[in-house]
Amino acid sequence: MGTSTERRRGYAAGDARRERILHIATQEFAEHGYRGTSLARVAERAGLSQPGLLHHFRTKEQLLVAVLELRDRRDMERYFDGDGASGGLDLLAALVRVVEHNSRTPELVRLFVVLTSEAVTADHPARDWARARYARLRTWVAHALRRAAAAGDLRPDLDADATAARIIAIMDGLQTQWLLDPAAIDMPALFRAHIDDLLASLRAHHEA
Amino acid sequence: MGTSTERRRGYAAGDARRERILHIATQEFAEHGYRGTSLARVAERAGLSQPGLLHHFRTKEQLLVAVLELRDRRDMERYFDGDGASGGLDLLAALVRVVEHNSRTPELVRLFVVLTSEAVTADHPARDWARARYARLRTWVAHALRRAAAAGDLRPDLDADATAARIIAIMDGLQTQWLLDPAAIDMPALFRAHIDDLLASLRAHHEA
DNA sequence: GTCTATATGCGGATAGAC
DNA sequence: GTCTATCCGCATATAGAC
């Protein structure tokens, strides 16, 4: 699936130069945000001149878009191909694993936190991306919750949309606190506790 | 309390020019972030030249600090002087009111969301402010939860620190989703639902 | 595809007159 | 306390040679 996307754009999947630029740009956007990132610095780290960089990505905005697309694609591979379209209750366990993985890759977490919040400012190029990403996430989680309810694993009267929004909210909120003060926040444990509480209150009471 | 701070700095509480600058700077920082805000634009909107602005705040960073201090002070007045040091369970009701108020003042919410997340980037002037603010918020909420437990309103075995971090996380996470897509997110309702669930699972079972 | 050179603009901050 | 004028640096982007 990633491959077809790349073919459509007319460059080989294994374009090392391009991948290297994207890798470095990802780090720079994470460290300094979109506005704080300088193309000259990305270029220098990638071992080419700034106009050389603009040969591959015609504007800074296009570079950002390419970074976001790459990350979305990688995440899809990781969480969809891996678990399949993980159904029902398995999703919650998968989310716990996502958070555990995130706690070992702070730079990727920073990328999302920084760009998502920058996106709420006026005329930001990542605005549509952020909005669409949240809508997609909410739909995805809500869908899994409904399937779990239909399968009899969760109470049939649960509010799937509200629960999904809350789960995503707590993931995001914990990330910010954790990035600012990692020693004070045990992100995976706190998220796991939330999921446990959720299950305790939403689990269908077969035996009760 | 605000007054004494102002006196210490040697300007009258009612310095209209200064207050006007801070008001406009608050809007600009909220709309464009720290990096995206231009002193020239703040100055223009405030009706003076850019060097004129720098007479009142010697650097952009000092302007930011002044904005953050003013907001913290206003919030303190609002939520401490108002409810007193709202004790125990009342705090949760107070937080619901805070979220309801926030949903009517998106620009102030945006200020916090944007600056807090920008603060996780390298060498950002609001870093210490953001870290200290979260530490203070967590301590404050955890303290209230412990008092509620001591008063017999909540289970004595609750993890106050973890619960506090989670409450703050969900407030923040909902804010981001709401700012990006207000029509899709009923922020006060979602937060209230979370508090209700929390109470349901943490309430001491006197009658049970 | 990559470079050097450069256009062009905006940013924050300073000097010094009024 | 506010202004005009200006410094200086950095930003993105382009032109055109190789």
Whether B188 contacts B100, CB under 8 Å? yes
The token duo for A108 is 């990727």
pLDDT tens, A118-145? 999 999 999 999 999 999 999 999 999 9
Q: Is residue B100 part of a domain?
A: yes
Looking at the structure, do residues B142 and B118 belong to the same domain, yes or no?
yes
Residue B65 is part of a domain; what is its CATH number? 1.10.10.60
Strand ranges in chain A using DSSP code E only, listed in sequence order: none
**Is residue B167 within 8 Å of B141, Cβ to Cβ?**
yes
Dist CA B117 CA B113 (whole Å): 6
Domain final residue pick, A42, A70, A98: A70
Contact B49, B43 (CB under 8 A): yes
In a domain, A128, yes or no: yes
Judged by C1' against the alpha carbon of B63, the nearest nucleotide is C12
Q: How many residues does chain B have?
A: 208
Nearest-by-CA chain A residue for B117: A114
Q: How many domains does chain B have?
A: 2
Q: Find the CATH number of the domain harbouring B175.
A: 1.10.357
Query: Taking 80 as the threshold, does the pLDDT of residue A2 lie above it?
Result: no
pLDDT of B7 higher than 70: no
Q: Is residue A176 part of a domain?
A: yes
Chain B neighbors of A170, CB-CB under 8 A: 166, 169-170, 173
Which of A123, A33, A19 lies closest to A66, judged by CA?
A: A19
Beta-bridge partners for B203? B154
Q: Is residue B77 a part of any domain in this protein? A: no
Does B206 score more than 80 pLDDT?
no
B51 touches strand C (CB under 7 A): yes
Residue A181 belongs to what domain range?
83-208
Which range is least confidently modeled, A70-79, B6-15, B54-63? Answer: B6-15
For B83, phi and psi rounded to 5 degrees? -85, 5
Whether the per-residue pLDDT at B1 is higher than 50: the answer is no
Is B183 inside any structural domain? yes
Same domain, B40 and B97: no
Say whether B188 sits in a helix, a strand or coil.
helix
Q: What is the DSSP letter of B79?
A: I
User: Distance (Å) from the C-alpha of residue A67 to the closest C-alpha of chain B?
Assistant: 18
Quickly count helices (H) and strands (E) in chain A: 10, 0
The pLDDT of residue B144 is above 60? yes
Q: Is the pLDDT at A205 greater than 80, yes or no?
A: no
Q: Which nucleotides of C are covered by protein (CB under 7 A)?
A: 1-5, 10-16
Can you read off the two tokens belonging to residue B165?
């971090």
Query: Straight-line distance from CA A1 to C1' C9, in Å?
Result: 42
Residue A99 clears pLDDT 90, i.e. is over it: yes
Instruction: Tell me which chain A residues have a C-beta less than 8 angstroms from the C-beta of B155.
Output: none
Q: Output the CA–CA distances (angstroms, integers) from residue B193 to A153, B171, B190, in the order listed.
A: 21, 12, 5
In angstroms, the CA A155 to CA A206 distance is 10
B117 closest CB neighbour out of A117, A159, A165:
A117
State pLDDT tens for residues A10-59. 455 568 999 999 999 999 999 999 999 999 999 999 999 999 999 999 99
Q: Is the minimum distance from the CB of A18 to strand C below 7 Å?
A: no
Mutation choice for B interface testing from A108, A110, A120 by most B CBs within 10 A: A120
Quote the tokens at residue A81.
């191909």
Q: Is the CB of B36 under 7 A from strand D?
A: no
